[in-house]
Amino acid sequence: MGIPLRVLIIEDSEDDMLLVLRELRKGGYEPDHVRVETAAEMVAAMAARDWDLALSDYVLPRFSGMDALRLWREREEDLPFIVVSGKIGEETAVAAMKAGANDYLIKGSTSRLVPAIARELQEAEVRRKRREAEQALARSEERYRRLVAAVSNYTYTVELAEGHVTRTSHGQGCLPVTGYTCDEYDTRPTLWYEMIHDEDRDRVLASIARLEARKGVVTLEHRIVRKDGEVRWVRNTIVPTWDDAGRLTAYDGLIADIAERKEGKLPRQIQTVALKAAANAIDICDPEGRIIWANPAFTRLTGYLLDEVAGRGIGILNSGVHGEEFYRDLWHTIRAGTVWHGEMINRRRDGSLYPEEQTITPVRDERGAIRCFIAIKQDIAERKQAQEALLENARLACDMQLARQIQRSLLPEIPPPVPGCRCAGRWVPAAHVGGDYYDFFPREDGSLDLVIADVSGHSVGAALIMTELRSVIRSLVHAGGTPARIVGSLNALLHEDLSRAELIITLFYASYSPATRTLAFASAGHSPPLVCRRRGECRQIDAEGLILGVHPLVEYEQQEVPMAAGDILLLYTDGITEATGPGGELFGTARLARAVEEEREREPEEFLDAILARLRMFTGGVPSGDDICMALLKVGD
């Protein structure tokens, strides 16, 4: 079962499309595709479903690759778009890349197609994760804004021009505090000043003057007269905005209803209970950084009791990980009256380090002086571990994808041309890499050698042994020899490495002579291949021989069978015959033999595709638990 790939193909030639699909299947993908030729068809296809990427010709009779690219980017901003064309020059290709194409390939030379797609899909996934992280941050910021709104009751904005108020806007929380609606403030810009209590108005206006003098954030408590005539106390925190010329153009306000505190309606012990019950650690420090108070969650996080830290500097949590500049910037921020939010590494009472996310808020008195700092802390060790695990998994997936590409590159890219016969091969690993292997070796005398092997397991270790097997086989074939002699030499040379790795190899080696139409072969415990006669049934062929890696010195039997025009030889690994259907039934050799008989008239490449299609239908599309490998030889007329 290949990797599912939803690909939109913008192409007027069905033959060129089939070539691309063939290349994708050879590359381990299972393309789910739609071909379009016009803008209308492309728009309809994009509206109908989601796609992983687009492959587009550059020149079409009623459309163009650049037009297709523009349509794609309007809807799919971040998904790969690759130009595959036979009529594109270097300057045109560069222009396409500048316009947003991810890559371009020349028709007839598509060896870069699969690596390019793998690379672009991986980069698209990285971009997707980055967007998700940014969205998560935005959600976190929105949550923080809601928290502020919940604590502070509501916010407002006052806009100024030449020292005069031109507009005010108040948040939704204004109605329960003031009795006025947001619309009433919009239509009456001076309403906010009008409802300030007469005895407090001069003090509020003096605070505004402090803003104009660029003296920073102002926090004061004063009374307002609600719409219903009730007098209520509020805490008003004002943050100014200046233009480039230094003029005050606006200020934002943060309104907290403190009537209950002023009037004694909310006992202090209730506030204390609420702070103690908070899930996040909270500590309060004086302006010099000495701890005044901490809640039980602080003790759970740091290991320190309040009695142990009261009056001591918050530096007792300093881990030594961050430099002086880090803490200097932090203190400079909060002493300037600005909220600090960030992450740091701190040290617990037992000496262990832990990461925390922290928000430190300065609290001013009525005169604007900072009275204390409130820090809210959250242990983010689990989140950090999860992030590291995600990054490690992404790195591992990237490495495994690269290993898969390298291993695939070791297999024959195209079958060798040998007069008198045609051949083809397929490799479908169960994981990123596997231990199955096939190869073709044309000899100088005109004969063709075929080999198929199965290293136990489908891990990185199996892939490494497969690579070593390939190197040793190629050196032995170059030196010449019969199939039995080559298999015996392989066993002797690989025995020590296989023993150390605790792996074994089954292998079948055959040599076909077109001149005599004779097939000579030897087997190292591998699944017996099938020979299907043009006029007759399929039968298995086999020869005596021990699995590679069991004993260093083994004599391998060599057998021969005659071949005739139209005969087929199919080498395969047990990933095919041991595949199971939904009911647990094995695909089996008999079912494979019937498939060979029924598909025998197809060309070699189409023949193997048909076998894999039957296998997928049998398993219900469930990915195989074992590697699948096939090598085919068809005798010519």
- Summarize pLDDT for 121-169 with one digit per residue, the tens: 888 887 788 777 777 767 655 654 554 444 446 788 888 887 788 888 8
d(CA 107, CA 115): 15
Note whether 472 and 459 are within 8 A (CB): no
Q: Map tokens 């076998």 to a residue.
A: 611
Alpha helices in 179-305 (DSSP H): 182-187, 191-194, 198-212, 259-263, 268-277, 296-302
Q: Which residues of the chain have pLDDT under 50?
A: 144, 147-152, 265-270, 274
d(CA 375, CA 369): 18
The closest alpha carbon to 97, from 80, 114, 110, belongs to 80
Return the half-sphere exposure (C-beta side, CA atoms, 13 A cut-off) of residue 259: 12
Return the half-sphere exposure (C-beta side, CA atoms, 13 A cut-off) of residue 367: 3
The helix/strand/coil state of 21 is helix
Q: Which amino acid is at 397?
A: A
pLDDT at residue number 276: 60
* Largest pairwise CA distance in the chain: 117
d(CA 124, CA 501): 38
Q: How far is CA 291 from CA 83, 315, 418, 537, 588, in A?
A: 64, 10, 85, 89, 75
- Residue 497 is encoded by which pair of tokens? 């490495």
Three-class SS of 128-187:
HHHHHHHHHHHHHHHHHHHHHHHHHCEEEEEEEECCEEEEEEECCCHHHHHCCCHHHHHH
Q: What phi, psi does 549 have (nearest 5°)? A: 100, -5
Q: Reading across the β-sheet that carries 370-379, which strands appear in turn?
A: 291-294, 281-285, 370-379, 353-364, 340-347
Note whether 568 and 632 are within 8 A (CB): yes
- Cβ neighbours, 10 Å, residue 37: 17
Q: Which amino acid is at 146?
A: R
Return the half-sphere exposure (C-beta side, CA atoms, 13 A cut-off) of residue 113: 26
d(CA 106, CA 285): 68
Q: Which residues contact 44 (CB under 8 A, 6 or more apart)?
A: 36
d(CA 234, CA 257): 5
Q: pLDDT per residue over 574-622, tens digit each? A: 889 988 988 889 999 999 999 999 988 899 999 999 999 999 999 887 8
* Whole-number CA gyration radius for the chain: 38
d(CA 615, CA 121): 27
d(CA 419, CA 437): 24
- Residue 228 is encoded by which pair of tokens? 């219903």
The gap between the terminal CA atoms of the chain, to the nearest Å, is 33
Q: How far is CA 13 from CA 16, 256, 259, 269, in A?
A: 5, 69, 77, 80
d(CA 71, CA 562): 59
DSSP secondary structure letter of residue 339: -
pLDDT at residue number 9: 92
The closest alpha carbon to 262, from 285, 287, 232, belongs to 232
Note whether 138 and 117 are within 8 A (CB): no
Return the half-sphere exposure (C-beta side, CA atoms, 13 A cut-off) of residue 604: 23
pLDDT at residue number 215: 64
The closest alpha carbon to 516, from 635, 380, 430, belongs to 635
pLDDT at residue number 240: 80
Give the strand pairing for 29-36 and 53-56. unpaired
Note whether 224 and 231 are within 8 A (CB): yes
